[in-house]
Every structure is written in C-alpha cells, then in structure tokens.
Amino acid sequence: MNLEAYFQRIGFYGPRDKADLATLKLIHKHHVMSVPFENLSIHCGETIIMDLDVIFDKIVRRNRGGWCLENNFLFSWVLKELGYAPTILGARVFSSTTGDFGPCNSHLINKVDIEGKAYIADVSFGVSSQLWEPLELVHGKDQPQRAAVFRLLNKGDVWVLEKSSRKSVILNPDFASSSLVNRKLTKTMYCFTMTPKVAEDFFEVNSKLQTDPSTLFTNKSICSLQTPSGFRALIGCIYSEVTYKPEEGVDVFDMRDVPVEEVEQVLRDKFSIRLQNKLQPVNKAYSYTL
C-alpha cells in the first residue's frame, strides 16, 4: 500500500504536509470526485472483502470504486498515514419504508478531531446524498454544500444527519412518474453514536449486505460518481446525469435507458471502470433495509 499511488488515483497533487482542516477538505473532495460509489462486485460474482490490502488493490490499482465499508475504511487508513487520528464510527441508515433507522450499523464513517473541533468525514454514502466535504460535528448548524444543506442534530444518545435538497427537474418525460417527482426536500440520512469501532465490527454486516436477497445492494447494481456540477449514476440500466443548480433552487435530472449490451461501455466511458467479470445489471424494487 502506497500513499503516493492513492493520491495519483484521486488526482491530488497539492501540499499535504499539515494534518489540518484545509487539507482534509481537499482530499475528501478529490476522493468523491474520483472514486465511484459502487456495488458492482456483487453483480459480477465477486465477493467484497473488508481487508485493507484487498480494498487498496481494488480501488487504487484496479481503478474501481466501492461502497462505504470499502471507501471509508480506506480513507481512514489514508488519514492515519497523513498524521490525523480518525475514529471509525458505525451509523444506522434511515429507511423511508419503515420510517426508522435500521437495527444495525451498516454504514461506516470517520470522525476526525482537528484543533479542538470534531468533523465527520464520509466519502461514500449512496448516489445523491454524498458529502463533498467533511461536516463539523456541531448541533443544528446549517452546513451548505453544492449538493444540499446538511445539518447534524444531537439527540442525546445519538447524532442524526439530515439534508435539505432542492426540487427536481426531470428532462425526460418517460421518467416523470419516478419517485424523484415527489421526493422529500428534507431527508434524514443516518444516525450514529460516538462509540469507536474497528473493521471487525462490520464483518457480519458486510457479508449480509451482499448476500441477503432483500437488501438494496442485492436488488440494484449501482455505480455513481460526483462531478464538479453534480453527479452521474448508473442504476441497473438507467443512466443519469444530474446538475445541481442551487442558484435556481433545482436539481436537473437527465435520464435515459441504456441497452444491456452497452452498460459496460457506459461504465468505461463515464466512470473509467473496466470490469474483469461479466456484469448482470439489476434494478429491482426492495423493501428491507439493514
């Protein structure tokens, strides 16, 4: 594992001699703009393993992406190498289906303490809710980013992350009936405690997320990447390019169906991903959240 190779992977060539907030923000943003959030391994007959050497090889050497348990675990290692002292935390994701948080810590995040203040660094949370920069761990403060306005709420026993986004404008009439039309503008994302975690605490959920037939990740093949103007995503055979327009109060969605035989070409052209095994795109409905 080589730190210079990681920085080359994310295209970061700036100064990194200080473990300060400015450096953390820059590396965080470069990561989400360069490393896709994706679960394609599940749909290629591959097993996702929570091992740093394996994750480094996949993301850095093979130019792949990963889900939160891979990306944020790798990011924790990067921060330690740079002189930060990150603490791994476990988060429970909110389910709009049940109206509650999942029963177990299925999401991994990092807390980073800098000059007496704490920040939450999360370089891998889904498609449209991705943080571009770390958030200060302070109650009730609106923290605007281009994607949305984020805020952390101290509920006593847990912290809750929520976001306020903008209205959706969908350019393609064929997708006008999608859930985007009526999506909630204020959304609860996840909750977490300050209890430190280690990688082994996520081994069981890492296995379940990729094998349980009722989870999001077994029912949808997902690949998304943040861009300077928004994000792009491929879910099953639906490709989207989204432009954030905060000055107009809208997010513009340009969506289209991709023929199955062209899916891997889209992955190469739009995400720089070349798969070793054949992908089986899938985009099924699901009703269970860990």
Task: Give me the phi and psi of 103, to 5 degrees please.
Answer: -75, -15
Record the tokens describing residue 149, joined without a space. Answer: 């306005």
Q: Please name which of 278, 285, 234 lies closest in space to residue 257, comparing C-alpha atoms.
A: 234
Contact between 210 and 42 (Cβ < 8 Å): yes
Does residue 111 sit within a domain? yes
User: How confident is the model over 208-217, as pLDDT tens digits?
Assistant: 999 999 899 9
Does residue 285 sit within a domain? no
What's residue 75's pLDDT? 98
Is the torsion defined by CA of 198, 218, 211, 53 positive or negative? negative
Query: What is the C-alpha separation between 135 and 158, in angstroms, rounded?
Result: 16
Set 68, 191, 223, 251: catalytic member: 68
Question: Is 174 considered catalytic here?
Answer: no
Does residue 194 sit within a domain? yes
Q: How many domains does the chain have?
A: 1
Which residue range is the domain that position 87 belongs to? 3-271
Contact between 110 and 89 (Cβ < 8 Å): yes
Does residue 83 sit within a domain? yes
Question: Is 100 considered catalytic here?
Answer: no
Set 122, 191, 223, 251: catalytic member: 122
Question: Is 31 considered catalytic here?
Answer: no
Does residue 73 sit within a domain? yes
Query: What is the C-alpha separation between 90 and 230, in angstroms, rounded?
Result: 27
Does residue 282 sit within a domain? no
Query: What is the C-alpha separation between 74 and 79, in angstroms, rounded?
Result: 9
Contact between 76 and 70 (Cβ < 8 Å): no
Contact between 128 and 231 (Cβ < 8 Å): yes
Query: What is the C-alpha separation between 266 and 56, in angstroms, rounded?
Result: 24
| The Cα angle at residue 158 between residues 153 and 163, in degrees rounded to 5 | 35
Residues 6+ apart with CB under 8 A from 96: 184
Q: What is the CATH number of the domain that holds 25?
A: 3.30.2140.20
What's residue 179's pLDDT? 63
Residue 152, helix vs strand vs coil: strand
Does residue 281 sit within a domain? no
What's residue 181's pLDDT? 62
What's residue 290's pLDDT? 52
Set 31, 107, 223, 251: catalytic member: 107
Does residue 255 sit within a domain? yes
What's residue 178's pLDDT? 61
What's residue 129's pLDDT? 87
What's residue 209's pLDDT? 95
Q: Which residues of the chain have pLDDT under 70?
A: 176-184, 286-290
Question: In whole angstroms, how far apart are CA 61 and each of 5, 29, 40, 79, 178?
Answer: 8, 20, 17, 19, 37
